Chains A and B, each alone.
Chain A
């Protein structure tokens, strides 16, 4: 397996945020971490991203323990992670500094086209909409050919129509590149629409309540009975979580 969480625990002082997290993520999988605010899902992502060290346990990627941020595992923040002083081209090429010029040019062109920003190469982020900036950030992340992508509620700042479009875009890109993706969300529909597996987390302390496998092939029909059934299953799961 690609990513492995072993007995991960996280405490800030006496407050326990994560407890006994054990999770295996396979190569090429799209896994959603789903839970209410404060359940520690973003913390999990920060830990596996190497930005924060866990209080207990260990995360390994391809067998190697995670010790810090690494270009092989790129974080996609909400569109505010995009650098405002660089053009679209400049942003996409940001992680490619060490590569030969020819390769850099090709990769930049390819990924701008992949995320649907062709024609905007010389534009600055302030000229782009929220959805476009989000796509720019994904392109920037993909350009360095990472093994794993982490997305922390990437569509949170977008309106619901754009969100639907972005989910479709993400799936399209994922099918083209087949990266391993860890995706944090609080939106149940979102998780069932895109994930292979949904890891349902409970509120403080964050524990894995259940892992639901979404065995519907893409493209997923939102009125399909299997989709609705799985969705309701997770609703029920979360409902219990709120009561505890």
Chain B
């Protein structure tokens, strides 16, 4: 990239952001809105919340829940996906079941979650688990199916048994696909977390949004909460994208020299 283009990468979005903020402020002024907050009010509200220490504890709670649910889903979905990818029979038997359960919103499981776990961390964790399970499972399964036959044949040719074949050929070949699935699943998990926190718990970013409105029509905190959710979600997604640059998987992603 030329230096000029590099400048554009930063300047253009910045410019667009400034324009958006200006339009926002303008809309507030023009419509004489009293309830919907201006950018400045949002900033003030968030800073105030941080000062009380609540902000960090809410963020911490949200991160804790999403991590536990997500990791649990990955630990189950990857091995199962590997198995389903290798075995045609298992795949054919279980696939329709998966296709049927998949569209059921984790949020539709919410009543069951509340019955089983009450108002506690476990309810959102369970929902996040469900939300992350299917994308990881499916991307792993498809990744395994798409491993070029030559690699399998070469592995067998060198005398690899079934276990070594999976460990030394299938897994490395599938890893990039799994990583992409992990990233997408995390995006879904983050979305579900926020929604789950709006109903089933009493802390966290999702709770913040609902509570801010219910407890005192604090729309500045509502919007502030939304922006925080966006920023943190984006940060975590970027981190996962970084993983795609690791040497062991870089070979599969474009521009990875």
Contact = CB atoms under 8 A, between A and B. Distances in A.
| Touching chains A and B, CB distance < 8 Å | yes
Interface stretch (A34-42, A80-88, A176-184): A80-88
B157 A49 contact: yes
The SS class assigned to the B binding surface is: helix
A81 B154 contact: yes
B150 A74 contact: no
B251 A74 contact: no
Interface in A79-102: 80-81, 83-86, 94-95, 97
B257 A127 contact: yes
B154 A85 contact: no
Contact of A85 (B150, B156, B173): B173
Most buried by A among B157, B169, B173: B157
Contact of B252 (A49, A84, A94): A84
B173 to A, nearest CB: 7
Given A83-B151, A125-B251, A69 B172 contact: no
Contacts of A51: 153, 156
Contact of B157 (A75, A85, A86, A127): A75
Size bracket, chain A contacts: 20 to 34
Given A83-B151, A85-B172, A85-B173, A144 B251 contact: no
Contact of A75 (B154, B250, B252, B257): B154
A81 B154 CA distance: 7
B249 interface: yes
Contact of A126 (B168, B172, B257): B257
Contacts of A68: 156
Task: Give the bracket for the number of chain B residues in contact with chain A.
Answer: 20 to 34
A197 to B, nearest CB: 25
B53 interface: no
Contacts of A94: 158, 168
Interface string B140-171: 00000000101101101111000000001100
A69 B257 contact: no
A85 B257 contact: no
A80 B248 CA distance: 18
A174 interface: no
B118 interface: no
B256 interface: yes
A81 B148 CA distance: 9
Contact of A77 (B154, B169, B256): B154
Contacts, number: 55
A49 B256 CA distance: 35
A227 interface: no
Nearest to A95: B158
Nearest to B175: A85
A85 B148 contact: no
Contacts of B169: 83
A80 B150 contact: yes
Interface in B174-200: 175
Contacts of B153: 51, 69, 75, 77, 81
Given A83-B169, A85-B173, A124 B154 contact: no
A213 interface: no
A71 interface: yes
Interface string B232-257: 00000000000000001111100011
Nearest to A125: B251
Given A80-B148, A80-B150, A126-B256, A74 B157 contact: yes
A84 B251 contact: yes
B151 to A, nearest CB: 7
Interface in A40-89: 49, 51, 68-71, 73-75, 77, 80-81, 83-86
Given A51-B153, A68-B156, 15 more contacts: A49-B157, A51-B156, A69-B153, A73-B157, A74-B157, A81-B150, A81-B153, A81-B154, A83-B151, A83-B169, A85-B249, A85-B251, A94-B158, A124-B251, A126-B257
List the 6 closest pairs (A to B, CB-CB), nearest first: A71-B159, A95-B158, A84-B251, A85-B172, A69-B156, A69-B157
20 contacts: A69-B156, A69-B159, A71-B158, A73-B157, A75-B154, A77-B150, A83-B151, A83-B154, A83-B169, A84-B251, A85-B172, A85-B248, A85-B249, A85-B251, A86-B172, A94-B158, A124-B250, A124-B251, A125-B251, A126-B256
